[in-house]
Amino acid sequence: MSEPTEKSLVERTSRAEKEARAIEEELEKISQGDLSFIGDPRLEQLLTENEKLKHRLVILENAVKAEAGSSSSTNKESSKKEPKKRPILVTDITSVEGNICVVNELKNIFEHSITSAYPDLVDPPVVITLSGNNPKFGDYQCNSAMAISQLLKAKNIKSSPREVANNILNKTAPSPIIERIEVAGAGFLNIFLSKAFAEHVLNSILKSGVKPPQVKRERVIVDFSSPNIAKEMHVGHLRSTIIGDSICRILEFLNNDVLRLNHLGDWGTQFGMLIAHLQDQFPNFKTESPPISDLQAFYKESKKRFDEDEEFKKRAYACVVQLQSHQPDYIAAWKLICEVSRKEFQKIYDRLDVKIKDRGESFYQDRMDSVVKMLKEQGYLEEDEGRLIMWGDEKHEGIPLTVVKSDGGYTYDTSDLAAIKQRVDEEKGDRFIYVTDAGQYTHFMTIDACARRAGILKDGQRVEHVGFGVVLGEDKKKFKTRSGDTIKLIELLDEGLKRSLDKLVEKGRDKVLTPEELMLAQEAVAYGCIKYADLSHNRVNDYIFSFDKMLDDKGNTAVYLLYALTRIRSIARTAQISTDTLLAEAQKSGLKLTHEAEWKLGKVLLRFPEIILKVSSDLYLHSLCEYLYEISSAFTEFYDKCFCVEKDKEGKIVKIYYERLMLCEVTARIMEQCLDILGIKTVSRM
């Protein structure tokens, strides 16, 4: 098909304009009292036709603008530029589903009105924020007027922010999601949400469950946990495991295609001394599986010998050579050691309910050869005191990667280069996430830069480093046991279990719950509190590990939230209302937000899609924790002020407020979904 010419576009625009005008004239007549159209099926048709034509008009007008711009300018780029598609706005409340992202819809609405008010501004800022606590300022605000006033000033047009705000307001078409908009102060547009809209959204959640907001499905590779074989899996790896798992969960909830990878440190020179030590300690290791129960101790012993015994050191190096040339006996010994380690790691993953696929550094051996060959051929590698290095930046800024060591061996850098190539070419990833301590930031940014320079990564493919701070003890020093040893993760989890049971017994729960319920509560609290303590802090900061704080049932902790949730769940239970009865009631009346406290809670619940989208993009999970806490605070306020079930003096139920029980149900469902994303198990009783 040939490109439409400017002339044909102008012709088509004026034709569309004429048709739209004719229809508008008819509609005008109707609005002025000519009622002959009422009941006429053509009315519906005309209305839809009019909508469609308006859209076509905008598209054609934009095309004409782009065409006109390209014929007068010499800039080839602009002629190729597609006219920016204006988002389609919600016009009918019944078409809205429970997963609508309110803030995005508001952005769309104001993008429309701002571009109609100021068509000459290129990409005008559309700033929508939450309004804070004072109900006077509405629920959201559009704060674009100040910035636009500045932009106009630069073009020598004087218009105060208040004038701009009024102009925008005049161009804002009514939306079923907005009740009203007010211009306030220096030029803020205060947006008040429609209650009917909020009720509709919450009713949809009641009917069809909590659904994720819609996003483009992507293939995401999440590299997390990744401990090193034979070395200890330390608290840093625990953080990576918890944060990484939660990131996978949120991306999976959004229906992405997620690959959870454990980039185990399973290859390297440390295996030389381990194999040498194995040969000495368990000469029959090939036929009899050696009873190594404590691989860390085994590692320490071999390291000690390596440091103190020259003879042993030499043998260890020889073992490395044998292993690297894939000598079967040595490969067998290596596999054996890896297996012992993996079994230990798996115990942690099972306890924390974390699914992950092992794919250690050894997986990339051949791929390292080929990536090095490719980089060499393409001239990216430079010699530096015998090693081969690669700069991410042609100006040689920052730190280069060491791709080949002076002895010809490969490094951590080489395996990550091979890994990213494999993840692009074979795994077809769009987004590559690495969850490690903040100290590795530069490493991954250099991997990104080098991979881009070498054309391994293409535009649109993103590398993200999810860094986190150090875990500290309550003394604010490095987290250690009382005797100064590093803490074994399994022992840490055991202590969590013990402390959580103590806490439950202290509250007398062992007398109320069945043994089965008590055990479920104990585990949910123990692992939940460890995860939540980690996730609820901004991950870039160091965090202080304190069982006392995380097991506190007041404040922003897992225990508090789990209690809050069981309380909500018990409201319907004590009223003896089954979910089915509730849903049947919902079919009749639907959920209503009448009381001020109901309305307030409803608006918090409405923000779920917004929070999910934010967290899945910036990968800061503490916002999700803060949101959970906000829900439970809003719920407490609602529950204090609004009866859900009324009882007489004898405790007999006299009245059930079904609409409020529906609000409880939606609250519980959203909280459960959030907790699930955080990897925290919920219990029905605790």
Kindly state whether residue 545 participates in binding ligand ARG, applying the rule CB under 6 A: no
Kindly state whether residue 419 participates in binding ligand ARG, applying the rule CB under 6 A: yes
Kindly state whether residue 270 participates in binding ligand ARG, applying the rule CB under 6 A: no
CB of 415 to ligand ARG, least distance (A): 7
Query: Based on CB atoms, which residue is closest to ligand ARG, 285 or 432?
Result: 432
Kindly state whether residue 111 participates in binding ligand ARG, applying the rule CB under 6 A: no
Distance CA 111, CA 99 (A): 21
CB of 223 to ligand ARG, least distance (A): 5
CB of 679 to ligand ARG, least distance (A): 20
Instruction: Please select the residue that binds ligand ARG; options are 98, 138, 161, 265, rule is CB under 6 A.
Output: 265
Query: Based on CB atoms, which residue is closest to ligand ARG, 467 or 590?
Result: 467
CB of 218 to ligand ARG, least distance (A): 19
Query: Based on CB atoms, which residue is closest to ligand ARG, 139 or 223?
Result: 223
CB of 242 to ligand ARG, least distance (A): 15
Distance CA 293, CA 302 (A): 15
Please state, in angstroms and as integers, the Cα–Cα distance from residue 2 to each residue in 5, 8, 67, 105, 214, following that order.
9, 12, 14, 36, 35
Distance CA 4, CA 121 (A): 26
Helix, strand, or coil here: 12?
helix
Neighbouring-strand partners of residue 183 = 189
439 phi/psi in degrees, rounded to 5 = -60, -20
Size of the site for ligand ARG (CB under 6 A): 10
Query: Based on CB atoms, which residue is closest to ligand ARG, 237 or 499?
Result: 237
Query: Based on CB atoms, which residue is closest to ligand ARG, 265 or 496?
Result: 265
Instruction: Please select the residue that binds ligand ARG; options are 139, 245, 344, 416, rule is CB under 6 A.
Output: 416
CB of 488 to ligand ARG, least distance (A): 16
Q: In what order do the strands lie in the sheet with 357-358?
A: 357-358, 257-262, 219-223, 431-437, 462-468
DSSP 536-554: TS-TTS-EE--HHHHT-SS
Pick out residues in 431-460 that bind ligand ARG (CB under 6 A).
Answer: 434, 436
Three state DSSP letters for 560-623:
HHHHHHHHHHHHHHHCCCCHHHHHHHHHHCCCCCCCHHHHHHHHHHCCHHHHHHHHHHHCCCHH
CB of 334 to ligand ARG, least distance (A): 17
Would you give the DSSP letter of residue 83?
P
Kindly state whether residue 414 participates in binding ligand ARG, applying the rule CB under 6 A: no
Binding mask 166-205 toward ligand ARG (x if CB under 6 A, else -) reads ----------------------------------------
Kindly state whether residue 341 participates in binding ligand ARG, applying the rule CB under 6 A: no
Kindly state whether residue 263 participates in binding ligand ARG, applying the rule CB under 6 A: yes
Query: Based on CB atoms, which residue is closest to ligand ARG, 160 or 365?
Result: 365
CB of 461 to ligand ARG, least distance (A): 16
Query: Based on CB atoms, which residue is closest to ligand ARG, 98 or 265?
Result: 265
Contacts (Cβ under 8 Å, ≥6 apart) of 111: 86, 87, 126
Inter-helix orientation angle 328-352/270-281, to 10°: 100
Kindly state whether residue 429 participates in binding ligand ARG, applying the rule CB under 6 A: no
3-state DSSP helix/strand/coil % of the chain, to nearest 5:
55, 10, 35
CB of 443 to ligand ARG, least distance (A): 7
CB of 411 to ligand ARG, least distance (A): 11
Distance CA 440, CA 465 (A): 8
Check the CA dihedral 666-671-673-674 and report its sign: positive
Query: Based on CB atoms, which residue is closest to ligand ARG, 434 or 545?
Result: 434
Pick out residues in 212-241 that bind ligand ARG (CB under 6 A).
Answer: 223, 226-228
CB of 261 to ligand ARG, least distance (A): 8
Q: Tokens 């508001």 belong to which residue?
A: 106
Q: Tokens 């999440």 belong to which residue?
A: 222
Distance CA 441, CA 468 (A): 10
Kindly state whether residue 344 participates in binding ligand ARG, applying the rule CB under 6 A: no
Judge residue 554's burial from the number of C-beta atoms within 10 Å of its C-beta, 0-12 exposed, 13-18 middle, 19 or more buried: exposed
Query: Based on CB atoms, which residue is closest to ligand ARG, 200 or 239?
Result: 239
Query: Based on CB atoms, which residue is closest to ligand ARG, 195 or 405?
Result: 405
Distance CA 539, CA 88 (A): 37
Contacts with ligand ARG by CB under 6 A lie at 223, 226-228, 263, 265, 416, 419, 434, 436
